[in-house]
Structure 1
Amino acid sequence: MKFWKMNGAGNDFLILNNLEEHIPEEAFPRLARTLCERHLSIGADGFMVVEAPTQGGDYKMLFFNSDGTMGEMCGNGARCICRYGCEAGLAGEVQRVETTAGLVTGERIDQRRYRVRLNDPTTIRLDCPVEVDGVTYPCAYVELGNPGLPHAVVPFQDLREADRDKLRELGRKLRWHPAFPKGANVNFYELIGEDQICEHTFERGVEDFTYACGTGTGSVVTVLTLQGRVSGHNVRAQMPGGELVIDVERDGDRITDLYLTGPTNIVCKGEITDEELSL
């Protein structure tokens, strides 16, 4: 079973081409849990499977979190899989990727940088206060795509100096809060300059912080753009794993296009030989 391991701004993924491997779909959740485990296997935040297109795309991307649950979409994963698609000969420098949340278009900027058009925001609630342990947090809530990928957007002062363990516990409580029936990816952010933010994301399905989250960054910038706090153009997000750039096009209060640009890295290509793995 051949694989690639890639990361986008530190958000790391395993990629399996099922056009070649022909693994039954019911095995994917177990494969994701097994292969994404960092001590007993290769380790990753997510597991992506390339399948044949069914809706006019170049190919289909199935995304699984490290706990085996299926994700609607993943922005950094989409950027990585666009590079895979280009270099593996599945698509050209401009491509259309089918995801569970809808069609995503991607393009090659240079050898390592890729840009994707994220799924449209289908739900935006700019005022969504949430109480945790007697403290009310002025959250916003965004879903991208259909079915929507849920994101809580949470301002947090002095984010870069925050106690990591306390922030993780708060992220966990917000992730499971009943205000978010689907659960939520929790995006803590701080404005640190003109069109610059610092962001940390506690990801649903990973159940911890990741080094970056592309759809999370898109959701944060969507909220800040509609609030008039950033321009929406070339907005730079500093993540633990690197920098992501968001561009927003809008028509009044409606977001018409949401673009994510950032780096990709092919970490390794290999063959899975795990003697304890059964399909």
Structure 2
Amino acid sequence: GFIVILPHEKYDFEWEFYNNDGSRAAMCGNGSRAAAHFAHHINKINPNMSFLTGAGVIKAKVNQDKVEVSLGKIKSVQNTFEELGKTWQLCDTGVPHLVHFCQNLDEFDTMLCQKMRQKYNANVNFVKILDENHLKVRTYERGVEDETLACGTGMGACFYLAFLNKKVQNKVKITPKSGEEVGFAYKNEELFFEGKVKYCFEANYNFS
């Protein structure tokens, strides 16, 4: 994704988030951690910050290379339903996510995900519960129109539904396709997402 950080009168900053295909997205979990890390380390904003996204205000805490963000309250959860031979549930964590719990992540099917994404205009997640403290997730994302290495809001949706259905504790580790383990917690009716952010490079671009 491409993130534009803009000044804001009330919050530390405001952002605009663009997908790979140029479309706008209201929220991105991993992007919010990257934006907070950049804002603190490059723009020298206080490590405890809040910023405005299309999905509302996000609170973040930066501790060196670790960033925790509050994704806020879950926007909505719909009842489970059957489609294309699988059981689904729709959860909005800032952007809509379809979630399917499975025993084997090899069930992940890009063509099936594409059909579900187009019909429901939602990201599509397959999740396997390893134990009450650990999940594995694979995600097909809108705007990329393919599987991605990790999706923060998608992992958040998977965790919240597993917690809601009493399959996991209120604090878990999640391993996405990238293999980089991240942490999620649910407390005071808010969803928290924590993980490391890697600084890659810095560059200047002249738009004139």
TM-score bracket, shorter-length normalisation: over 0.9
* Alpha-carbon separation, structure 2, partners of 1:244 and 1:172: 26
* Alpha-carbon separation, structure 1, partners of 2:205 and 2:101: 41
Q: TM-score, normalised by structure 1?
A: 0.70
* Alpha-carbon separation, structure 2, partners of 1:112 and 1:128: 40
- Is 1:108 the counterpart of 2:62? The answer is yes
Residue in 2 that maps onto 1:24: none
Q: Where do 1:115-194 residues align within 5 Å?
A: 115-129=68-82, 131-132=83-84, 135=85, 137-145=86-94, 149-159=95-105, 162=106, 167-177=109-119, 180=120, 183-194=121-132
Q: Where do 1:158-237 residues align within 5 Å?
A: 158-159=104-105, 162=106, 167-177=109-119, 180=120, 183-233=121-171, 235-237=172-174
Q: Does structure 2 conserve the Cα–Cα contact (< 8 Å) formed by 1:101 and 1:119?
A: no
* Alpha-carbon separation, structure 1, partners of 2:32 and 2:175: 19
* Alpha-carbon separation, structure 1, partners of 2:132 and 2:96: 26
**What's the CA shift for 1:237?**
0.7
**What's the CA shift for 1:118?**
0.4
Q: Does structure 2 conserve the Cα–Cα contact (< 8 Å) formed by 1:78 and 1:116?
A: yes
The structure-2 alpha-carbon separation of the partners of 1:188 and 1:143, relative to structure 1 and needing over 3 Å to count, comes to same
* Alpha-carbon separation, structure 2, partners of 1:186 and 1:212: 12
Say what the alpha-carbon RMSD is for the aligned residues.
1.7
SS at structure 1 position matched to 2:2: strand
| CA distances 1:192-235 after superposition (whole Å, capped 9, x unpaired) | 123111101100111111111111111111101110001121x1
- Equivalent of 1:96, from 20, 37, 50? 50
Residue in 2 that maps onto 1:15: none
Q: What is the number of equivalent residue pairs in this alignment? A: 207
Whose Rg is larger?
A: 1
Q: Does structure 1 conserve the Cα–Cα contact (< 8 Å) formed by 2:131 and 2:168?
A: no
Read off the aligned partner of 1:155 and give its amino acid letter: F
- Is 1:240 the counterpart of 2:182? The answer is no
Structure 1 alignment gaps of length 5 or more: 1-45, 251-255
Read off the aligned partner of 1:227 and give its amino acid letter: N
Structure 2 alignment gaps of length 5 or more: none
Residue in 2 that maps onto 1:6: none
Read off the aligned partner of 2:42 and give its amino acid letter: A
**What's the CA shift for 1:154?**
1.0
The structure-2 alpha-carbon separation of the partners of 1:223 and 1:126, relative to structure 1 and needing over 3 Å to count, comes to farther
**What's the CA shift for 1:248?**
0.5
| CA distances 1:149-171 after superposition (whole Å, capped 9, x unpaired) | 11111112211xx176xx11121
* Alpha-carbon separation, structure 1, partners of 2:129 and 2:173: 10
Question: What's the % identity of the aligned pairs?
Answer: 27
- Is 1:268 the counterpart of 2:201? The answer is yes
SS at structure 1 position matched to 2:128: strand
Residue in 2 that maps onto 1:69: 23
* Alpha-carbon separation, structure 2, partners of 1:224 and 1:72: 24
* Alpha-carbon separation, structure 1, partners of 2:20 and 2:71: 22
Q: Which runs of 4+ in 1 moved over 4 A?
A: none
**What's the CA shift for 1:126?**
4.0
| CA distances 1:64-101 after superposition (whole Å, capped 9, x unpaired) | 10101100110100001100010123521100011011
- Is 1:53 the counterpart of 2:2? The answer is no
* Alpha-carbon separation, structure 1, partners of 2:79 and 2:34: 30
| CA distances 1:215-269 after superposition (whole Å, capped 9, x unpaired) | 1111111101110001121x1111122111110125xxxxx11000011111111
Read off the aligned partner of 2:47 and give its amino acid letter: E
